[in-house]
Structure 1
Amino acid sequence: MKQSFYILVFAIFPLLSWAQQQLTLKQCIDYGLMHHRSVLVYKNDVDAATYKAKEALSAYLPAVNITSTIDDNIKVQQQVIPAGVFGPTDVKVAFTKRFSSNHFAQAEQTIFDKSLLTGLKANKISLKQAQLSGEQNQEILIYNISNAYYQILVYRQQLALLKANLESYKQQLAISKLQLEKGVAMEADVNKVQVNYNNIYSDVLAGESDLELAYNQLKNAMGYQLDDSVRIQDFDLDDPVVAQTQLSVGSFPSFSAANRIDFKLSEINIALLDIDQARIRATAVPKLSAYAKYGGIGFGDNLGESFSSISDYAALGIKLSIPVFDGFKRNAQYNQARIKQVNARENLKIDQQNFNLEYENARTKLIKATASLDNDKRNIALAESVFKSTDLQYQKGVTGLTDWLNSQYSLKEAQSNYLSSLYNYLIAKIDLEKANGTLTTFHHSL
């Protein structure tokens, strides 16, 4: 009993330890890439593509079939021997008996089928297509996890600032109530502070709810159990991810649509359509195959005789199939495939333009978001300085409650602007990575 308990403890302890540590963004992404259920789905697609390739190859491998038939000729068919052969009148003769059985094994081997050979070229491309789809899913996971992770960072920082503001209002509320008791403040002043305190308290409750929802979003993006707890690293205002210098257009590498998996998948689709055209055209080429057959056939007036009187036979042969006319079916199929291929090439050109536009927009947003973050970062420091000065003046009786409330509101507004800029900046960074097709590189660089 004790041994089982210790085994259970040692099995669970690593999981508990992992759940208690503060996870970095890279650790969250690593977990998602291993445990999210969609990863298994796309892995299965790769396996399915491998088996599909084997299925296509099987058409060029020998095929062996065993066939067994039993016929009950309820009314035996008769043939007519014309008059003059065995007599002056027609003679009706049955060349079979009521029961017959035929049992044979036949092996067939395709010697030449150009359409099959052309179709085999699609196997490797289809496998590559499945692999790229899996990589595209990984990029989606990286983006979703990063988005949820950054959202938690911002919500957590927002909650910390709100609680600091709430504490400031709480202290001021106690001071105002004391001043009211001593007759040096009006009840209206106390009510003003109380209203602001209540508003901040509501904001704190909303912030706690937003943070919990963001954690659930992160766990869902990671494929993590919603009932289990997960913790991420503490947020640092001076973290290099935030403390960026002003960016310019020259700060970014040149864009290449070929980096994007969407582009690569479109190219693969075009290649498959090319092969499909060639395969359809190849169906006009004659096909050659060989076969070998061995079996036995028996006849009898009853079922037992049809088995006891079996005589064997064997045959070898070559079959040449020459397509002559199919009612223009092949021509229609080829033109359909040709039009699909033309449209696929045009859509790829459209996608290239859209990819380039997406990258340029993402780059511009990041430049603007960086400038806005830098400005709001300086502004929040200025607002804090103004509030500290006003708070000191208010404590000394040099300024009134209205100035104190105004400076506190200005600080709250500066904090809100900063948090909004921070979130926009973080999302702009991963949007640029997504637009440039470098989310995997971004993940490895963390």
Structure 2
Amino acid sequence: MDYGLKHNRNRTIYTNEKKIADAKAREMLAAYLPSIGINSSLDNNLKVQQTVIPGGIFGPNDIRVAFTKKINTNHTARIDQTVYDQSLLIGLKANSYNAQQATLNERQSEETIIYNIGNAYAQVFVYREQLHLLGENLQAYQQQQGINALKVKKGVLLQKDLDRISVDYNNTFAQLKVAESNLILCENQLKFEMGYPLDQPLALDSISAEKLFVQVSQHPVESGHLSLDNRIDFQLSKINAKLLEIDQKRIKATAMPKLTAYAQYGAIGFGDHPGSAFSTLTPYSSVGLKLSIPFFDFFKRSAQYNQAKYKSLNAQEEVKINEDKFKIEYLNAHTKVIREQSNLENNRRNIGLAQAVFNTTDLQLRKGTTNITEWLNAQNALKESQNNYLNSLYAYFQARMEIEKAAGSLKTFYNDL
């Protein structure tokens, strides 16, 4: 898990998402900061426009005159500052929620990595345990094959009894090969969840089922009231509702006037060729306020507002639905983990009883006080109890990860391991 939290590629994605949220916050803030622009233009009036001065002002006839020259240049530097824009002010409130959302997504990614690695490791562990048990069963069958082969030669045992042992041996051997293949598949899945190179061997510490069970049992499942604030997905649903509520208010605020201040400084030049247009620049400057009042966009704004309104209402309902949903998930997960823990303890005891019965039957067979049928029945009962134990072992570890996920305590569980 520690390796996966450092190398899983999803971690990089959510780290980048957090950086995107930070950049988005700066972008929103920049809309309320001064903006400076420099513009420069060069116009070549191929045919200079003329203006008519009516007759009677400078003489009895109309006078046609041009108020510009063939080449003119204009250079301006302008600074604009938003003085008041309610929609921008409301939008700035979303910055903190966007940052929280990115942080929670990153934490949720960590929990997902812990959960997936936990399940993948449980599968690897169970298949390792199965290989161990199948190896012991094969050894028992091999011993009986050797003993009973001699009995068949001596004529004290029928060939069909030896064949029955060989059939069970072959079936167990086939199961072992399947388990070996499944172990390789599960190890590859574990590598993927860890972000470990698939072409490199993964060295896992050997640990007995008893020791692992004791380690996990040292952190008992606590029963009690679920704190929904521990669930990251619940916090995310509340933040999403807040963001949609802010968007609704922002759209409504676009109907309010906007006030902008500006200051500009420039120079303009005229000439018959580009050189003279640049050498005869005349400076000018101005400051002012610009008031923008929207009048005829009501229908568009109203449609956008209604969309945002119902999205916000749906998000609020989603929060309420999630509240009940997550409580049910926790109650079901709590019931399941208690049940699976009980099943595992029963199957652990049962495998011990089946092993004791098999050992007694095996001893009786050696002494000649029982037959091969009883021995095979005891061996099959042992195999059945082993399968039940393996199934309950995996089901318990899976249920344990589910209860930690439902309680929102996967990170705490990982830290306590």
Q: TM-score, normalised by structure 2?
A: 0.95
After superposition, the Cα gap between the structure-2 partners of 1:226 and 1:370, relative to the gap in structure 1 and judged at 3 Å, is same
- CA distance, structure 2, for counterparts of residue 102 and residue 171 of structure 1: 103
Shift of 1:302: 2.3
Alignment pair present for 1:312 and 2:267: no
| Aligned residue runs from structure 1 range 379-390, under 5 A | 379-390=350-361
Shift of 1:357: 1.7
- CA distance, structure 1, for counterparts of residue 215 and residue 204 of structure 2: 20
Name 2:405's counterpart in structure 1.
434
Shift of 1:233: 3.3
After superposition, the Cα gap between the structure-2 partners of 1:243 and 1:145, relative to the gap in structure 1 and judged at 3 Å, is closer
Name 1:280's counterpart in structure 2.
251
- Bigger drift between 231-240 and 36-45 goes to 231-240
Matched residue SS, 1:209: helix
Name 1:147's counterpart in structure 2.
119
After superposition, the Cα gap between the structure-2 partners of 1:251 and 1:107, relative to the gap in structure 1 and judged at 3 Å, is closer
Instruction: Confirm or deny: 8 A CA contact 1:169 1:193 kept in the other structure.
Output: yes
Name 2:348's counterpart in structure 1.
377
What whole-Å deviation, never above 9, does each CA across 1:138-188 have from its counterpart, x for those lacking one? 000010011111112211111100000000001111112111111212221
Instruction: Confirm or deny: 8 A CA contact 1:31 1:222 kept in the other structure.
Output: yes
Name 1:176's counterpart in structure 2.
148
Find the partner of 2:41 among 69, 72, 97: 69
- Bigger drift between 196-205 and 303-312 goes to 303-312
Matched residue SS, 2:213: coil
Shift of 1:243: 8.9
- Bigger drift between 223-232 and 83-92 goes to 83-92
Matched residue SS, 1:346: helix
Instruction: Confirm or deny: 8 A CA contact 1:387 1:411 kept in the other structure.
Output: yes
Name 1:14's counterpart in structure 2.
none
| Aligned residue runs from structure 1 range 80-229, under 5 A | 80-229=52-201
After superposition, the Cα gap between the structure-2 partners of 1:109 and 1:436, relative to the gap in structure 1 and judged at 3 Å, is same
Find the partner of 1:337 among 308, 322, 331: 308
Alignment pair present for 1:362 and 2:333: yes
Alignment pair present for 1:49 and 2:14: no
- CA distance, structure 2, for counterparts of residue 267 and residue 225 of structure 1: 38
- CA distance, structure 2, for counterparts of residue 226 and residue 350 of structure 1: 41
Name stretches of at least 5 consecutive residues in structure 2 with no aligned partner: none
After superposition, the Cα gap between the structure-2 partners of 1:202 and 1:195, relative to the gap in structure 1 and judged at 3 Å, is same
- CA distance, structure 2, for counterparts of residue 172 and residue 78 of structure 1: 118
Shift of 1:113: 1.6
Q: TM-score, normalised by structure 1?
A: 0.89
- CA distance, structure 1, for counterparts of residue 216 and residue 265 of structure 2: 81
Shift of 1:244: 8.7
- CA distance, structure 1, for counterparts of residue 324 and residue 367 of structure 2: 64
Name stretches of at least 5 consecutive residues in structure 1 with no aligned partner: 1-28
1:259 aligned partner, one-letter code: N
After superposition, the Cα gap between the structure-2 partners of 1:48 and 1:183, relative to the gap in structure 1 and judged at 3 Å, is same
Shift of 1:371: 1.8
- CA distance, structure 2, for counterparts of residue 53 and residue 257 of structure 1: 28
Matched residue SS, 1:232: coil
Instruction: Confirm or deny: 8 A CA contact 1:157 1:235 kept in the other structure.
Output: no
Matched residue SS, 1:317: strand
The percent of aligned pairs where both chains have the same amino acid is: 51
What whole-Å deviation, never above 9, does each CA across 1:72-111 have from its counterpart, x for those lacking one? 1122222222233233333332211222111111111112
Matched residue SS, 2:266: strand
